[in-house]
Structures are given as structure tokens and as C-alpha cells.
Amino acid sequence: MKKIRIKKAESSVKRGQASCGGKLIISVPFFPFFLFLLTFILTTVNAENGFILLKSTDSAVRINEAQRLGNERVEEAVPDLIELLNDKSAGVRINAAVSLSNIGDERAVEPLLKVLKNDKIRGVRVMAAQSLGRFGDKRAASALKKLAEDKDPEMRRMAYGAMGKSEGGGEAAQLIEALKDAHWQVRQTAVDSLMELTEMGKTDRKAIKKAIKEARKDKDIRVKKSAEKALKRLDKMPEEKK
């Protein structure tokens, strides 16, 4: 057999091809295939070993990996993401909650309910509430309804904010009632959530519009402005199909 001699040559990239000494080495269009193959291998290895990057000692690495798994909706990562809800870093816990809601696996509902009830950091509880709002699960809806009755106005505001993200759409009546809450932040959140549900097509638009028109008469200028913005958005929406 003849030995192949590799001469040093100046590398160049032209018209989507990588070459060395004028000889074709690899064509750029092949890159996506190799990237796909590499991603598949890494995902498989990760799944078998408990997603190694989620166990990094660097919280930034754990956050980035949690975000990636959520964006790619990797269902195999759900148990590991649930475990991250107990992470010492609040940032990691927040991103784990977001990723679990993106994946949408109902195994996450109970753990998120525990976070909502027990986590000491308000930001984490807020994200847990919002994440639960994206589930159509009855347990999540029941928990949010109970949270909306809390004595703490911030907890009520959290609950109503999460209802605006709900896929179920059965929270409109409770949100309309929230427009009478004693605290302006709660009323403002209720207006915003009603608008979100309407844009998702989950509610009776006429009933919502009537309620928001009443909110425009609110004694607080901030609630009034939110109601006015919501009405403008409603007017721009295409007419409902009959």
C-alpha cells in the first residue's frame, strides 16, 4: 500500500466548502448532519447518566442546561428538572420551573405545587405559580384558586397572574371578581390576565369586554390605564366566528 502524504497547506473556505491545498476535505452542508448526530449522542448519554450538566457545581451551567432541555422539550429530563426544584440556587429553581412548564409533563404538577407552598424566595414562588398556570391539570387550577383567596395581596396577585397563562380558560369568572379586590395591583393583574385569556380564545369576549369597561372606571389611575390598553387591543382583534 502507498502511504498517503499530507502536505502543509494554507486552508481556505470557498463557496461553502473547506479545502486544504486545493483538495476537498468536507462540504459545509454536511455540518448539520454531524451536529444532529452529536446532539443525539450527547442527549442519549445524558439520559443514561442523569443529564450530567444538571449536576455541575457551577450554577450557571445548571441554568443553561435546564433552559436548553426546556426549550427542546426533552421529556427524559423531567425527573432531573424536578430534582432541581430543590437546588440551593434560586436562579436554578426558577429556570427548572420554567423548563418543566415548557415540557408540559404532568409529573411536574405536584412538585411545583410544593414549591409554590414552601419555597422561601418570592420570585421562585411566582415562577412556580406561572408554570402551574400553563397546565390544564385540575390540581393546578385548584391550587391557584385557593391561592387567590390568600390574605396576602401579593399571593393573590401571583395566582391571578398565573390564571392568565392557563390553557384551561375556566378562570375568567374568578378574574372578573378580582376586579373588585381592595388592592390595585391585584385588580391590574386581573385586567391583564383577562386580556391574555381573551387573546388565547379561551373566554367569552363580550363578557370580558364588559368587565374591562367597568375597570376603566377604577379609582386607581394605573388600573384605568391597563383597562384602556386592554380595550384598545380588544378592538383591534378580529371579530369572533359565529
For position 66, which CATH number holds?
A: 1.25.10.10
Considering the domain boundaries, does residue 204 fall inside one?
Answer: yes
Query: Rounded distance, CA 94 to CA 207, Å?
Result: 35
Could you tell me which residue, 94 or 16, shows the higher pLDDT? 94
141 & 67 share domain: yes
| Among 96, 119, 147, residue at a domain's last position | 147
Of 172, 168, 169, 144, nearest in space to 158 by CA: 144
134 & 164 share domain: no
pLDDT level of residue 11 (50, 70, 90 thresholds): very low
134 & 184 share domain: no
139 & 97 share domain: yes
Question: Which of 20-24, 34-38, 166-170, 186-190 is modeled with the greatest confidence?
Answer: 186-190
Q: Is the pLDDT of residue 15 over 50?
A: no
**Residues with Cβ within 8 Å of residue 106, at least 6 apart in sequence:** 135, 137
> pLDDT tens for residues 120-156?
998 899 899 889 888 867 788 888 888 899 898 988 9
> pLDDT tens for residues 183-204?
999 999 999 999 988 888 767 8
190 & 228 share domain: yes
Considering the domain boundaries, does residue 40 fall inside one?
Answer: no
What residue numbers bound the domain in which 142 lies?
53-147
Considering the domain boundaries, does residue 190 fall inside one?
Answer: yes
What is the per-residue pLDDT for 240?
63
What is the per-residue pLDDT for 143?
83
What is the per-residue pLDDT for 166?
75
Q: What angle, 0 to 180 degrees and rounded to 10, lies between the N-to-C axes of helices 184-199 and 205-215?
A: 150
- pTM score of the predicted model: 0.65
What's the CATH number where 220 sits? 1.25.10
Domain count, the chain: 2
